[in-house]
């Protein structure tokens, strides 16, 4: 099931860098984080849903790569995003 439109819109408004910004790394990481939280809750009640587990692992890897890109290109923004989403950071 996809992410609810309201949740996605809220993530976009919270993390957009300018009006109409829907594709910056900040926004993409926020949307992925919301989706990961949703899939994690689904897997807690449906432990044997292997296709969902595969999708979750793929999404986590995608977010990790996006965070690595943001860390390399703009470290202060990386710190701000990880702080706001309460994600653990690598040193």
Whether residue 91 has pLDDT greater than 90: no
Q: Within a 10 A sphere around the Cβ of 59, how many other Cβ atoms?
A: 15
Who contacts 24 (Cβ-Cβ below 8 Å, separation ≥6)? Answer: 15, 16, 17
Report the pLDDT averaged over residues 56-77. Answer: 96
Report which of 41, 17, 27 is spatially closest to residue 85, judged by C-alpha positions. Answer: 27
Instruction: Read off the pLDDT of residues 11-27 as tens digits, 9 standing for 90 and up.
Output: 999 999 999 999 999 99
d(CA 27, CA 14): 8
pLDDT tier at 3, thresholds 50, 70, 90: confident
Please name the residue ranges forming H helices in 16-48: 25-45
Who contacts 8 (Cβ-Cβ below 8 Å, separation ≥6)? Answer: 31, 34
Instruction: Read off the pLDDT of residues 20-56 as tens digits, 9 standing for 90 and up.
Output: 999 999 999 999 999 999 999 999 999 999 999 999 9
Whether residue 89 has pLDDT greater than 90: no
């Amino acid at each position: 099931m996809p992410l609810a439109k309201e949740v996605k819109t809220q993530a976009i408004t919270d993390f957009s860098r300018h009006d109409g910004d829907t594709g910056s790394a900040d926004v993409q990481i926020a949307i992925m984080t919301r989706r990961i939280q949703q899939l994690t809750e689904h897997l807690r009640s449906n432990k044997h849903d292997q296709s969902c587990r595969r999708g979750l692992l793929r999404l986590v890897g995608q977010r990790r790569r996006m965070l690595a890109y943001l860390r390399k290109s703009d470290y202060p923004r990386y710190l701000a995003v990880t702080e706001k989403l309460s994600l653990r950071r690598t040193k």
